[in-house]
Structure 1
Amino acid sequence: MSKLPGNAGVSLLGDKSLEFYRDPVSFYRQRIEKHRSRVFQSRLLNRPTAFICSVQGMRELLCEKSNLFVKDPTDLMTNVYGDTVVTTNGEEACLLRLSLTSLFTGRCLESWTDYITSVCERCLKDLSLSGQPECVYTVFKQLGTELVLGLYLNVRPEEQPELFQEITELCTQHWHGLISAPLSVKVPMWSSGFSTAMEARDKLMEIIKDKLENDTQGFVGSLRSLPLPDSSSASQHLLLFISALIPKALASLLTSFTLALSGNEQEETRRRALTDAVYMQGVLLEVQRLWPPFIGGRRIADQDSTLAGFHVPKGHGVMYISHSVHRDPEVFQQPDSFLPERWSGRNAGQEHFLCSFGSGPRNCIGVKLTDAFLKEACMYLLKHYDWCLEPPSQDLEYKWLPVSRPANPPTISFTRLDPTRSDKIDTR
C-alpha cells in the first residue's frame, strides 16, 4: 500500500476547485505527467481528494469496493433534486433501485420503442429542408427534451404545446441551480440564480404532483404504483427524470457522433455503420469513450481503504475522471484515436470499462433506454442523410463542464439521401 502521490494542500488556501472546474482535462493531464501516476491527490471542494484516472482504479471504486465509498450527503444534487436513487446511500439506495428497475427494462422499455421512433422522425426529418447549416446541439437538445417529457410525464409538444414550453423553461431554470452558487438570495428586482432555480423547482413539483394524482397511463401511472419509501419519493424522482441534465447528455453524445462521422472522408464509416450492426455498436461505444457527456463522479471514503494500490484515508473525497479512464493506455491502445473496430478486437467485451454513466451497482438506471434512444436517432441520421461541417473550418475544442460539448456550438450541413437506395441493415 502506497501513499497517494501529490499534495492535498491546506484548508481553503490549498483548494484547487477553481482550477479543476476551469479546465478539468488540463488539470488531470498536468498532474499525471508530474506524478507519473494515474492516481493522485489534490484538494477539491476544500476536501483532500483522490483523483482516479485509470480503469483499474475506477473499477475498484465503482464495483469491487462500491460499499466503501458513498455519495456525499451534502452534494448539491441532493439540495436540488432531493433524496433519489442517484443521491441516497446504503439500503435506501438499494431499495429504490429495486423498485425503479422494472420501469427501465423488459416490457416497459419495449413499450417505448414506437414513441422513440416517432420523436426521432418528428425532430430530424427536416434537417436538410432549409438548405442552411444546422446548429446540431440545439436540434439534439430539443429532441432529448421531447423524448424525456413525453416518456416520463406524458407531455408532448404536438398535444400540449403551451404546457410543454412551460415545463421546458422551468427545467432550464431549475438546471441553473446545479451550476450556480448555492445562495438563496431574493431582493426587489433581483434573485440569485439558485433562488430562481428553487422557485422553478416548486412550480415543477406542482405540475408533477398534478400528473401523479390524475394520470393513470404510461410512466407516471407505473411510478405511482411502485412501493416507494414515502409520499414524496415519486415526485422527486420525476423531477430528476425530466431534468435538463438528460437532454443535455443526449445532445452531447449525438453532437459528438455527427462530428466524428462528418464529411466525405467518413462516408465509408457511415455506410458501414448503417449496414453492420456490430460496427454500429462499436461506433457508439467509441463516441462515448472519447467524448463522455459527464467528466466523472465523486464519492467519499466511508472508511480507510485502497484504490489501485494507494491508501485512501477515511473522509477523503474520491473523484473518478471518465475522460481519463477512457484514455487509459494500459487498456486502450492508441487511446486518443477514433477506432470503432477496437470493440470487436482487442477491447471486445470490455464495455464495462467505460464509466460515462457510472459503473457497477450504482450505474445510471436508465442506461438501456439511453442506448436504445441513441441507436434509433443515429440510425435515422445514417439512413436519411450525408452531412459535413459548414463552414468546413470551425473551432471544435470541447468544454467539459457541466456537460461536455464543443465550446462553440458547431454547425453542420445535411444532404438528404436518395430514398430508393438499397442499403440493407445487418441485425445479426
Structure 2
Amino acid sequence: MAPAFRRDMLGTLLDGFHRYGDVVTYHFGPRWGPRAVSQNVVMAHHPDGIHEVFTTPRVFSRRTTGFQVLTEFIGAGLLTSDGEVWLRQRRTLQPLFTPRRVAGYTELMTAEAERVAADPTVAPGSTVDLHHLMQRYALRVVGRALFGDDVDEAIPQLQRLMPILSDLALARALQVVRAPLRWPTPRTRRITRERAAQYGIVDAIIARHADREPGAERDDMLSRLHTARDPETGQPLSTEEIRDQVLVFLLAGHETTAGALTFTLHLLGRYPEIQDRVAKGDADLVRAALLEGMRLYPPAYSTERLADVDTTIAGYQVPAGTRVMLSSFVTHRHPDFWPDPDRFDPDRFTGQHTRPRYAYFPFGGGPRSCIGEHFALLEATVLLRTLLARYRVEALDQRLRLAPMITLRPAEPVRAVLRPR
C-alpha cells in the first residue's frame, strides 16, 4: 500500500472506508517478511473505535514510526513525548493554557488581526494568497505570545522550511526501512541540514529574548516556561525541554491555525450567502463556520498509536505491535453522522446536536488532546471576525489541491480577492 499512500493518501483512505467500512487493514512492505520490513496498519473510522483508541488506559501508546520521525525533527516536546515524561510535561504546561490565561492574549490577537486587515498587500480588489497571509498572522501571534516580541525576521525562513520539513518527515515515515540519521546518505544529510536550520532560527530568537532587558519582569510564554514547575514534584523543565516546547509551539502551533483559517476563508469565499450571514452574525456563528471548516479540512488530518498489548477495536482483534491510525479527514465525512458530508454548512455546529463525541476530533482526544485548543480557537475567531467585518472574500478557485504532510496544507496558493464591505 505504500505507493498508493504516497500517490494519494487521502483518496486511498476514503476509498478504503467506502469499500470496507469502519475498520480497515492496510499492508505495507512485502507480503511475507520480518516485521522490520513488513507490517499491517489498522485504520479505525467509527467514533466508537476512535474512543477506544484514545481513552483505553495502558493499551495504546505513541511509540509509533510517525512519532519517532517527528521526534527526530522537532525533539521530545509535548507533541512527541510519551509515558511518564509526557505526563510530567503536561502537568507542568497545563497552567499556561487555561481559558483564563489564553483570554489574556485577546488584545495581542486583535492587534495582529487588524494588522492583516490593514496590510498594504491586501489592497481592495487585488489578488492575495490566503495561506501566505494566514501563516504570517499565526506566526506573529505565536511569536509575540512566546517571546513578547515579533518574529518578522524569521517568518520568511520558517515559511520556506515548513513544507520542506513536512515533506521530508512524511517521506521518512512512509519508508519501510529507514537509515539512521547518523548514516551520511543524501536523504539523511538533507534532513540534518534542514533540521539544523530550523533549530538555528529558534535558538537565535531564544538568545535574543535572553539578552533583552536583563532583570525586567516579563509575562511572555517563554518566561513562564522557565518558571513553570511540575505541581506534584516541583521539577522544572530542562533547557533542552524548553527549547523543544518552543519549537512545537512555534512550528506546529502556527501551521495548524494557519491551515484552519485558510480553508475556512476559502470555503466562505465560495459561498457568499453563508459568508454574509457569518460576517453579520455573532461570535457563535463565526466559531461555527470555523468548526465546519475544520470538519472538511482538519489540519491534524490523521494521528497514530501503537497497540502495546493484544487488544480489540470494534470487535476486531488487533495484535500487540500493530500501528493503529485515526483520520479525522475520513471520520468527519462519515455519512452516519454527517448528512451530505461534503457540503459546507456551519449550521451543523449551531444549536443542539446528538453526535457521538468522536464523530469530530480536530484537536485529537482523550488525555492527549491538544493543549493549545483554546488558544487556536480564540486566535482564529478573532481573525475571522476582524477580516470579515472589513472585507468580502471572493475565492478564485472552486477546488483546492491538498498536500497531506505533517499537517494538511494547500498544495498551491489559495487565491482570493478581498473587496471592502
Report TM bin, short chain. Answer: 0.7 to 0.9
How far, CA to CA, are the matches of 1:147 and 1:330 in structure 2? Answer: 38
Counterpart of 2:232 in structure 1 is: none
Q: Check 1:294–1:317 CA distance in 2 against 1; reply closer, same or farther (3 A cut).
A: same
- In the TM superposition, what is the alpha-carbon distance from 1:272 to its structure 2 partner? 4.0
Q: Is the 8 A contact 2:64 2:306 kept in 1?
A: no
State the match for 1:221 in structure 2: 223
Which SS does the other structure have where 2:42 is aligned?
A: strand
SS in 2 for 1:23: helix
- Residue-by-residue CA offset, 1:274-331 (whole Å, 9 max, x unaligned): 3233332221211111111122101100111111221111110000011111112222
Q: Which moved more, 1:332-341 or 1:123-132?
A: 123-132
Q: Given the two structures, how large is their TM-score scaled by the length of structure 1?
A: 0.82
Deviation at 1:22, TM superposition (A): 2.4
Deviation at 1:21, TM superposition (A): 3.3
Aligned to 2:34: none
Deviations 1:237-257 (A, max 9, x none): 1121112x3333222211211
**Aligned position for 1:108:** 101
- Aligned ranges 1:22-421 → 2 under 5 Å: 22-35=7-20, 37-44=21-28, 46-63=38-55, 65=56, 67-72=58-63, 75-126=68-119, 128-129=122-123, 131-157=125-151, 161-162=152-153, 178-179=169-170, 181=172, 183=181, 192-204=189-201, 206-207=203-204, 210=207, 213-214=210-211, 217=218, 218-227=220-229, 228-243=236-251, 245-263=252-270, 265-345=271-351, 347=353, 353-390=359-396, 395-417=399-421
- What CA deviation, in whole Å up to 9, does each residue of 1:205-232 have, x standing for no partner? 5335525745662111111011235342
Structure 1 residues 211 and 109: CA distance shift in structure 2, 3 A: farther
**Structure 1 equivalent of residue 176 of structure 2:** none
The answer to whether the 8 A contact 2:64-2:305 is kept is no
AA matched with 2:225: L
Q: So what's the TM-score if we normalise by structure 2?
A: 0.83
Indicate conservation of the 8 Å contact 1:145/1:168, yes or no.
Answer: no
1:52: how far off? 1.3
Aligned to 1:17: 2
Q: Secondary structure at the match of 1:234?
A: helix
Aligned partners of 1:187, 1:325: CA distance in 2, in Å? Answer: 38
- Structure 2 counterpart of 1:104, which letter? F
% same residue: 23
Aligned residue in 1 for 2:32:
none
CA distance 1:396–1:210, shift in 2 (3 Å): closer
| Residue 150 of structure 1, CA deviation | 1.5
CA RMSD in angstroms comes to 2.9
Kept after mapping to 2: 8 A contact 1:294/1:400 = no
Distance 1:352 1:153, change over 3 A: farther
Cα distance, 1:176 vs structure 2: 6.0
Distance 1:339 1:268, change over 3 A: closer
SS, match of residue 77 in structure 2: coil
Q: Give the CA deviation at 1:48.
A: 1.6
Question: Which one is further off, 301-310 or 400-409?
Answer: 400-409
Contact 2:226 2:237 in 1 (8 A): no
> How far does the alpha carbon of each residue in 1:394-427 deviate from its partner, in whole angstroms, 9 at most, with x for none?
542333334324433221111112xxxxxxxxxx
How many residue pairs get aligned? The number is 392
Q: Secondary structure at the match of 1:67?
A: coil
1:310, 1:345 → 2: CA distance?
36
Could you tell me how far 1:110 is from its partner in structure 2? 2.1
SS in 1 for 2:381: helix
Structure 1 residues 308, 322: CA separation in 2 closer, same or farther (over 3 Å shift)?
same
In structure 1, C-alpha distance between the alignment counterparts of 2:413 and 2:162, rounded to whole Å: 21
On the 8 A contact 1:294/1:401 being kept in 2, the answer is no
Residues 55 and 330 from structure 1, CA distance in 2 versus in 1: closer, same or farther, beyond 3 angstroms?
same
Letter of the 1:149 partner, please give it. G
> Structure 1 residues 387, 213: CA separation in 2 closer, same or farther (over 3 Å shift)?
closer
Q: Given the superposition, is the C-alpha separation of residues 147 and 297 from structure 1 closer, same or farther in structure 2, using an over 3 Å criterion?
A: same
Judging changes above 3 Å, is the alpha-carbon distance between structure 1 residues 163 and 294 closer, same or farther for their aligned structure 2 residues?
closer
Does structure 1 retain, via aligned residues, the 8 Å contact 2:269–2:395?
A: yes
2-side partners of 1:340 and 1:251: how far apart?
A: 19
- Structure having the larger proportion of residues in helix: 2
CA contact (8 A) 1:180 1:194 kept: no
Cα distance in structure 1, aligned partners of 2:357 and 2:378: 16
Kindly indicate whether structure 1 or structure 2 has the higher relative contact order, using CA contacts under 8 Å at least 6 residues apart: 2
CA spacing shift, 1:409–1:351, aligned 2, 3 Å = farther
3-state DSSP of counterpart to 2:169: coil
Check the 8 A contact 1:304/1:313 in 2, yes or no. yes
